């Protein structure tokens, strides 16, 4: 049984980590994690609603 991890996944926008548990040549379990967080939802709170498009478009 082996566990492989591919980090970074490239040719995507953003940061992604994929792990897979391999047994006998077959993937028996897998995990994905986004490895970056900025908290844009928190940043939006209390702001003028008319400018929210400008922040969310930077996600």
Q: Out of 11, 24, 25, 26, point to the residue binding another protein (CB under 8 A).
A: 11
Q: Out of 24, 25, 26, 46, point to the residue binding another protein (CB under 8 A).
A: 46
Report d(CA 12, CA 59) in Å as an integer. 14
Please report, for residues 3, 10, 25, 35, 37, the alpha-carbon distance to residue 16 in angstroms, rounded to integers and kept in the order given: 17, 8, 23, 6, 11
| 18: its two tokens | 């994929």
Query: Which is closer to another protein, CB of 1 or CB of 36?
Result: 36
Residues that bind another protein (CB under 8 A): 5-15, 17, 35-40, 42-43, 46-48, 50-51, 54-55, 58-59
């Amino acid at each position: 049984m082996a566990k492989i991890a591919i980090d970074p996944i490239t040719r995507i926008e953003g940061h992604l980590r994929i792990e897979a548990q391999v047994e006998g040549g077959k993937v028996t379990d897998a995990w994905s994690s986004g490895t970056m967080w900025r908290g844009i939802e928190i940043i939006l709170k209390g702001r003028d609603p008319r400018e929210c498009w400008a922040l969310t478009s930077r996600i």
